[in-house]
Structure 1
Amino acid sequence: MAGKILITGGTGLIGTRLSEMLIDLGYEVAHLSRSSSKHSKYQTFKWDIDKNYIEEAALTYTDYIINLAGASVADGKWTDKRKQEIRDSRILSTNLLINQLQKTMHHVKGFISASAVGIYGNSGERLVAEESSYAENDFLADVCRDWENAANEATQLGIRTIIFRIGIVLSKEGGALPQLARPIKYLVGAPLGSGQQYISWIHLDDLCRLFIAAIEDHQFRGVYNAVAPHPITNEEFTRTLAEILHKPLSGLKVPAFGLKLMLGEMSETVLGGSRVSANKVLQTGFTFEYNYLDQALESLYVNEV
Structure 2
Amino acid sequence: MPDKILITGGSGLVGTRLSEMLIDQGYEVAHLSRKADKFSKYKTFKWDIEKQYIDDNAIKYADYVIHLAGAGVAEEKWSDERKREIYNSRIDSTNLLHHCLAHTNHHVKGFISTSAIGIYGNSGDQLMSEESTYANDFLAEVSKAWEAAAWKMRELDMRTVILRLGIVLSDKGGALPQIAKPVKMMAGAALGSGKQFMSWIHIDDACRLYIKAIEDTQFKGVYNAVAPHPVTNKEFTIELAETMNKPLMLPNVPAFAINLMMGEMSEVVLGGQRVSASKVMRTGFTFEYTYLEEALSSFYAKEVD
TM-score normalised per structure 1: 0.99
How far did 1:28 drift?
0.2
How far did 1:262 drift?
0.3
Kept in 1, the 8 Å contact 2:224–2:279? The answer is yes
Within a 5 Å distance, the mapping from 1:1-305 to structure 2 comes to 2-136=2-136, 138-305=137-304
1:111 and 1:51 mapped to 2: Cα distance?
22
Aligned partner of residue 301 in structure 1, secondary structure = helix
1:76 and 1:213 mapped to 2: Cα distance?
33
1:123 and 1:96 mapped to 2: Cα distance?
32
1:162 and 1:64 mapped to 2: Cα distance?
11
1:165 and 1:82 mapped to 2: Cα distance?
22
1:294 and 1:155 mapped to 2: Cα distance?
39
Letter in 1 for 2:94: T
How far did 1:264 drift?
0.1
2:208 and 2:75 mapped to 1: Cα distance?
27
Kept in 2, the 8 Å contact 1:124–1:275? The answer is yes
How far did 1:302 drift?
3.0
Kept in 2, the 8 Å contact 1:167–1:201? The answer is yes
Aligned partner of residue 301 in structure 2, secondary structure = coil
Kept in 2, the 8 Å contact 1:244–1:294? The answer is yes
1:108 and 1:72 mapped to 2: Cα distance?
27
Letter in 2 for 1:249: L
Letter in 1 for 2:145: D
How far did 1:38 drift?
1.1
Q: Deviations over 1:60-105 (max 9, x none)?
A: 0000000000000011110000000000110000000001100000
2:250 and 2:46 mapped to 1: Cα distance?
50
How far did 1:268 drift?
0.4
Letter in 2 for 1:33: S
1:132 and 1:20 mapped to 2: Cα distance?
34
Letter in 2 for 1:89: S
Kept in 1, the 8 Å contact 2:244–2:301? The answer is no
Letter in 2 for 1:107: H
Identity %: 66
Q: Deviations over 1:221-251 (max 9, x none)?
A: 0000000000000000000000000000123
Structure 2 residues not aligned, in runs of 5+: none
2:184 and 2:86 mapped to 1: Cα distance?
30
Letter in 1 for 2:298: S
Instruction: Compute the RMSD of aligned alpha carbons.
Output: 0.7
Q: How many corresponding residue pairs? A: 304
Moved over 3 A (4+): none
How far did 1:2 drift?
3.2
How far did 1:277 drift?
0.1
Aligned partner of residue 84 in structure 1, secondary structure = helix
1:145 and 1:250 mapped to 2: Cα distance?
40
Letter in 1 for 2:202: H
Kept in 2, the 8 Å contact 1:168–1:200? The answer is yes
